[in-house]
Structure 1
């Protein structure tokens, strides 16, 4: 036993120091993570940060791997010490870069999230903050990947080029024609020029109407009135002609159009439509003081066209916003239709007048006679 100790005492002491160091670092990591979760996250942000748990896993794995490398010095030759030392430094560097990247990205993400919550509570536009949050987090992770690649000799040239000014310019030129960059630039234009922001109600097409819920680096998300999420790439929505119901004043003028027959009383139809519109609870009186003084009607009603078989009448009814305008329109179509039926105002069906020449009538009568004869012959054969 004494001989064994004399022979391997330095190796045993080294192994004990390594194991004690790993155990101490493991314990300190757990203590630090618990401190961060209890004191910082819950008290300051009141959220459970998954990044902290990820950092704990990375640090635990890092201590184990470094400990194994340190223990390997016992079993390898002195000629391999330099390679083992290089591996030790490489793993330590990658671990530090990973932790620093996650901490920086989490801090930036939390700062933007807190700013977004504050602006949202104060009812201030937070669209640019939400977009910049995505941009900052992606940029931080990109720099972290480049720093990690620079640790490998074969990748240092790529990392240096990507981080250099000429490298960034070359990367931009290389992907300028790609859809990803088009969406990114489209998102930047949306945030910079603000044709719409998060929370606005927009109409891209007749089937794509809803409120904007998010603007990411790649796409814009719209929640329609069926509670479905519509994902539109930024490059596409940036080129579309759209209607923003919340840009400027939210007041919305809703057209209420009805067709009546030529034999119906136009004055009665206009009176019914105006009366139904003005009595609706969601109607908005958009008249100025001068218009009220001159007794201008709250709802303007006019004949706007003489169609093929009907007279078209339109009411200009105002509402506070798009949602109320849509509800008001649906209610008014129903109530006006019931009043028309009750007071004898006819909503016409389309009429068609067919004119046949003499030859066409003769050919038509012959065809009818032939078909009747064929039907009679078929019936006789069936009876037999």
Structure 2
């Protein structure tokens, strides 16, 4: 098995890394100062300046894989971007994940990436002209409204938001939360999942529709915190929709097609999070190692205490294993499609946050009191990564799929035992 990166994979990874080192890392202090000085829910001027530089350098819209160039509805719209494969993008996304605001610099941040892919795959030409084009140019941002506070949204068939046809419009009523991105003043459009037919088959009740956030009846009721952090200016909102009327042509793909769209959207989105999380873990192990070799306790460097040698070694092993699984999943998506790679996607979705959380926890411990302060990114990153055990499906849902696939391998074994009458203890 050859793990050597080819020229194209190396080219894009190294360009992103070089830009990060030259344009993003040197301006982190300036970015933080701008965020602290201005209105919390306003656009950071440092980020906008660096974004313009990335766009001018051609480091823009990396995430759309080549196979997405054949959308279901309208093939006359050309996606503006490098159209990297999932494997190529994984290498770039890991680098972006090392700095919290870097993904947006390259117009590769969630939920815009998933929403752009939905519009490209399933949108009409009019929908693309209205919303996909300005998203691709980085002029606006977007939100994805799926989760609801009143039901267990880990099972999306539970959602209760109503999308009801009324002449040339749909009328929407419901309450959503964890609507990521809705706090940004540039957020202009949301993709909402609700039910158009409560009496249809279980997975044919749901539809997705485009909802401009300035539509009457859309109310951002509050911005949610994540372990005390508001994540401004991006943020996560609780949104109430009361008699929200949008044109019928805002419906995506057709009534009852919501789950089909969701599966097309969530597979790539899940692995994108994992790619970035590996970058978070790399930054954490680096911070931990620097702290351990620079501090002395009980007469010797903290690094020389055996427990820290064990923790650092375990961290490096876990990062390497997780990266290989992530790259395997990405490669399978490229070669066999998202559906064929669904178990690998599920496995990396469970593994990557768990791995990064342990390393972040150890890094916090290594920093002592400083680790839980805002002097370092460790506490903030721990809170962000912890949410990934819930986002795009909780761990338990993905573990269930993995386990069922494993049990399925032995279904014949159980059938043979039952037919032979051998129901005793296996030997």
TM-score normalized by the length of structure 2 = 0.21
Pick the structure with greater CA Rg.
1
The TM-score normalised by the length of structure 1 is 0.23
Give the structure with the larger helix fraction: 1
Higher relative contact order (CA 8 A, sep 6+): 2
